[in-house]
Amino acid sequence: EVQLVESGGGLVQPGGSLRLSCAGSGFTFSSYDLSWVRQAPGKGLEWVSGISGSGGSTYYADSVKGRFTISRDNSKNTLYLQMNSLRAEDTALYYCAKEGDAFDIWGQGTMVTVSS
């Protein structure tokens, strides 16, 4: 079964840092681009960042550029999102998603709350 499982969310103070992880299984991890998509409570979906299968190309939404860093370790079948300088508006459920010509597989998400 193709599966993505996120972890690493939690409560963090404004200005703090957090690293999210996403473990993939059931598919050839290194062959697929992956993305992080977030959803603030009661709101819609926002693409945050994406990375190519090799990890050589990365992409960011303007809202997180310079603060978040996406990376992957294909030997561990794991995707990461390093989040620095967190703001209240970063509070959201963060999903990782596998890419084809769409986001075809989604994890269950990990919640990040930025609050003092």
Partner 1 sequence: DIVMTQSPDSLAVSLGERATINCKSSQSVLYSSNNKNYLVWYQQKAGQPPKLLIYWASTRESGVPDRFSGSGSGTDFTLTISSLQAEDVAVYYCQQHYSTPYTFGQGTKLEIK
Is residue 31 involved in binding partner 1 (CB under 8 A)? Answer: no
Pair of tokens at residue 8: 């690493």
Is residue 27 involved in binding partner 1 (CB under 8 A)? Answer: no
> Which residues within the stretch 68-97 sit at the binding site for partner 1 (CB under 8 A)?
95
Per the DSSP assignment, residues forming a β-bridge with 17 are none
- Which part of the chain contacts partner 1 (CB under 8 A), choosing from 9-17, 21-29, 39-47, 75-83? 39-47
Residues making contact with partner 1 (CB under 8 A): 35, 44-47, 50, 59-62, 95, 100-104, 106-109
